[in-house]
Structure 1
């Protein structure tokens, strides 16, 4: 099946699809260094405030109070290749990645209920991403002013942050059954740019063009709730399960539009409502005494993303998700080994591609056009490898972690139409660029993340 011209015209840009899945349908998973070193795998272990990122029942496992703060340093490198050329770009950013705390309340009664614990967790991650693609002199565009230009490059640029603040309560029943509830509040900000460059075949001058309805800006907030349970099966094995409701987003957005018959060049303001997929997580953990623990999590989306319909744009977005979105899944494995006061940790996670194969019309490197099917268009699967160290100084501790995250995907851009009913072309102050086909580059994304945590147990 091919993607219709009307869909991308109304949806404004493939970045709307990417952000709907990659931002609004994903929770930030930046925890403490311990959590990050174990690839976010703690669904059946619990014991600290980061349980609110996976299974709130883990709050009930804690038997002492704790507070921690984590500094994150993110490196994001994209290499975009087209027609035998490549451009690499690195982004480095430091921020407060996580702050969490848990208060324990031991129940001094003869009841089997041993603890009621309260947890708070703040998780924050940067959304900054930049993909610059080289030009191709074989791709020639004819302008309305009777001159031709060669495609000279393209830049996709996103700024912003995504955060999740969670409040939860956990209960401990006879040190064998743990229950938890979490309330999650999200905030996101996105500045999105889409710019193409063309070089005149007459004088070599380069013009820059913004895509219709870009740049656009979004400020959003959302809410979800989560429920969880962890049970001991024998002395060394724990099993866990958690369910997180969809996140209900309110999105305020503004975007630039150009050459409108009534308004000319102006800025539009609108609101959207978006619902992310319902998500379930099942977990298993092996706890071999006080020196070794191993945890495995499996998370699965149970529903599809959905926009509240205000017009044709939301209808066509929903139709796209209905046809091409598949329930995303993630497997996380993490382990910790203790040698006296030293902690050694490692982890791995795999997230599946959330989109089915797509067939589009695209330019080949020699400038001709044709249809091609892609199994990794817009997004693809993701691999994460992590490790870390920690050291306890009695009540105080310091941990460090490293993560390497990799993904490869095909990046479509430059498609734009200009007809009586559809306008998704690229604009400079005087010219219009429109094409029926995409240019598609190959992007390798590599993220190297570093974390340092300082914590206090009381």
Structure 2
């Protein structure tokens, strides 16, 4: 009867299966500079220039600058290196990835009539907007008396013992699944802590709601590994037109998609305290979490470019929010070693070998407004400056009527803020060669400015014009320092991560 009651409650409370937080919201709201080698060589300062397929992805009016139909294709090698510091521990690592990061074509249709609308363009393009391949390792001795037990204690606090424990004769795997379906993510975490002997109830009673830890106070050797894979991309359908001689306007309809996976693993060991007679203390803990995310989304862009004079161009772009529909799956594993007063040790393993499939949810990223100014030196070169602003505090999980999402949205509003991005680029031509360079600076989206720090980067590029075909190569690098908590609950001590992204991009573009 108790099992039937649990299943009935589960039908009524399935919406509680939520595990999303601010890190998920921010991950899908930020974009890296991606695209053609020429675009990246100017650090993306292309909002008032156009005439490049990635510039079209930035400002939809840019395709109307083409004098004839145009196509481009780009490949890139991305190298991400991380230097981490966690208490007294220093570590470093890197990973690289080679892939296609851009491709597209724009078709120009000249208007032969006397209409002031000189030409129209339509186009389609693919751009990889973010690369999620990343690995780092934080190793150190936690001297703040903080163990992973705080994670499980936090989730267990206030929850009945019979809501975080297995039924008689029920396997731990079945119990983990049932508790997740009935009570949700938080009870599942408390279950892992209780059944792995990390937690102990104050009273051996189903109605008990308070717990203590089977770890003694002291220092803790902690080794935390993070590995993620995947990307965020978009397919853009572009329409643009030239009005008279000096005005270009355009519209982009964007289809977005996410493929992201993440795995974290914590090893923790301690030698704190001596077990009392007939009792035990937890010595070793291994805790693994895996997440897989897929998503689809939609956004639109409106843009314009105006020639203020033969030399000066002004660009303005509005990027709508991206409206994502997200699906997530997760799995977990935990093992512990407990030492008795006799010196004997026993290992407890909880490996459910099943996947939590969370209810589909929606995420609305912040909109962005951008302004650009460019100066053209005839056929010799150019200088370009872009400024954009995005208010990350407006990011929202939906439906907002959901109590869990409402709490997360309140945290986002309190913790995140508006952030500006500055991009500067230049190009100088000598015969068939083009020499390029750029600089960019992005403010932190966090009010504290340190959880995710400011980003600064530079770029250098070279191009050669064969006539109808152009070959471009670029090197760009960006650096950012983050203070990343190991967990958002309990063990919130942060690892300081100095991340450097280096990219080499090769593009081939040609007139059709």
Alignment-derived partner of residue 245 in structure 1: 320
Alignment-derived partner of residue 450 in structure 2: 376
Give the whole-Å Cα distance in 2 for the aligned partners of 1:10 and 1:197: 26
Alignment-derived partner of residue 170 in structure 1: 240
Alignment-derived partner of residue 497 in structure 2: 443
Residue 45 in structure 1 maps to residue 49 in structure 2: yes
**Structure 1 segment 322-333 matched on structure 2, within 5 A:** 322-333=413-424
Q: Which of 343, 347, 355 is equivalent to 1:267?
A: 355
Q: Which of 460, 474, 489 is equivalent to 1:401?
A: 474
Can you list the C-alpha shifts for 1:173-203, whole angstroms capped at 9, x where unaligned? 2221101011111111111222210125399
Alignment-derived partner of residue 113 in structure 2: 109
Per the TM alignment, residue 157 of structure 1 is displaced from its structure 2 partner at its CA by 2.0
Per the TM alignment, residue 49 of structure 1 is displaced from its structure 2 partner at its CA by 2.0
Alignment-derived partner of residue 196 in structure 1: 266
Alignment-derived partner of residue 427 in structure 1: none
Q: Alpha carbon RMSD of aligned pairs, Å?
A: 2.6
Give the whole-Å Cα distance in 1 for the aligned partners of 2:485 and 2:301: 36
1:348 match: secondary structure: strand
Equivalent residues of 1:49, 1:119 under 8 A apart: no
TM-score, length basis structure 1:
0.82
Give the whole-Å Cα distance in 2 for the aligned partners of 1:104 and 1:327: 37
Give the whole-Å Cα distance in 2 for the aligned partners of 1:278 and 1:234: 30
Q: Which of 145, 157, 171 is equivalent to 2:227?
A: 157
Equivalent residues of 2:391, 2:417 under 8 A apart: no
Q: 1:219 to 1:137 in 2, by over 3 A?
A: closer
Can you list the C-alpha shifts for 1:189-245, whole angstroms capped at 9, x where unaligned? 1112222101253999864212xxx32211001100111111111111011111111
Residue 21 in structure 1 maps to residue 21 in structure 2: no
Residue 224 in structure 1 maps to residue 315 in structure 2: no
Question: Larger C-alpha radius of gyration, 1 or 2?
Answer: 2
Give the whole-Å Cα distance in 1 for the aligned partners of 2:397 and 2:82: 30
Equivalent residues of 1:48, 1:102 under 8 A apart: no
1:316 match: secondary structure: helix
**Structure 1 segment 269-308 matched on structure 2, within 5 A:** 269=357, 270-302=359-391, 304-308=394-398
Per the TM alignment, residue 51 of structure 1 is displaced from its structure 2 partner at its CA by 2.5
2:376 match: secondary structure: strand
Give the whole-Å Cα distance in 2 for the aligned partners of 1:276 and 1:169: 24
Alignment-derived partner of residue 463 in structure 2: 390
1:193 match: secondary structure: strand
Q: 1:247 to 1:407 in 2, by over 3 A?
A: same
Q: Where does structure 1 lack aligned partners over 5 or more consecutive residues?
A: 1-8, 358-374, 417-435
Residue 340 in structure 1 maps to residue 418 in structure 2: no
Give the whole-Å Cα distance in 2 for the aligned partners of 1:110 and 1:151: 77
How many residue pairs end up in the alignment? 404
Per the TM alignment, residue 144 of structure 1 is displaced from its structure 2 partner at its CA by 4.6
Per the TM alignment, residue 292 of structure 1 is displaced from its structure 2 partner at its CA by 1.0
Residue 256 in structure 1 maps to residue 331 in structure 2: yes
Per the TM alignment, residue 137 of structure 1 is displaced from its structure 2 partner at its CA by 6.1
Per the TM alignment, residue 456 of structure 1 is displaced from its structure 2 partner at its CA by 1.5
Give the whole-Å Cα distance in 2 for the aligned partners of 1:65 and 1:100: 11
Alignment-derived partner of residue 131 in structure 1: 136
Can you list the C-alpha shifts for 1:254-273, whole angstroms capped at 9, x where unaligned? 123679xxx99453222110
Per the TM alignment, residue 102 of structure 1 is displaced from its structure 2 partner at its CA by 1.3
Indicate the structure with greater strand content. Answer: 1
Equivalent residues of 1:342, 1:389 under 8 A apart: yes
Equivalent residues of 1:63, 1:115 under 8 A apart: no
Can you list the C-alpha shifts for 1:130-174, whole angstroms capped at 9, x where unaligned? 221012164664745956683331112221111011011111122
Per the TM alignment, residue 339 of structure 1 is displaced from its structure 2 partner at its CA by 0.7
Equivalent residues of 2:122, 2:240 under 8 A apart: yes
Bigger shift: residues 151-160 or 132-141: 132-141
Per the TM alignment, residue 305 of structure 1 is displaced from its structure 2 partner at its CA by 0.4
Give the whole-Å Cα distance in 2 for the aligned partners of 1:160 and 1:252: 15
Alignment-derived partner of residue 365 in structure 1: none
Equivalent residues of 2:235, 2:254 under 8 A apart: yes
1:46 match: secondary structure: coil
Give the whole-Å Cα distance in 1 for the aligned partners of 2:57 and 2:321: 14
Per the TM alignment, residue 67 of structure 1 is displaced from its structure 2 partner at its CA by 1.1
Give the whole-Å Cα distance in 2 for the aligned partners of 1:257 and 1:199: 19
Give the whole-Å Cα distance in 2 for the aligned partners of 1:414 and 1:224: 32
Equivalent residues of 1:29, 1:123 under 8 A apart: no
Equivalent residues of 1:82, 1:441 under 8 A apart: yes
Give the whole-Å Cα distance in 1 for the aligned partners of 2:80 and 2:59: 28
Can you list the C-alpha shifts for 1:92-129, whole angstroms capped at 9, x where unaligned? 00000111211111111222221111122211142111
Give the whole-Å Cα distance in 2 for the aligned partners of 1:389 and 1:278: 33
Residue 312 in structure 1 maps to residue 312 in structure 2: no
Equivalent residues of 1:10, 1:313 under 8 A apart: no
Q: Which of 486, 493, 497 is equivalent to 1:413?
A: 486
Equivalent residues of 1:383, 1:407 under 8 A apart: yes
Q: Where does structure 2 lack aligned partners over 5 or more consecutive residues?
A: 1-15, 150-197, 201-213, 273-280, 335-349
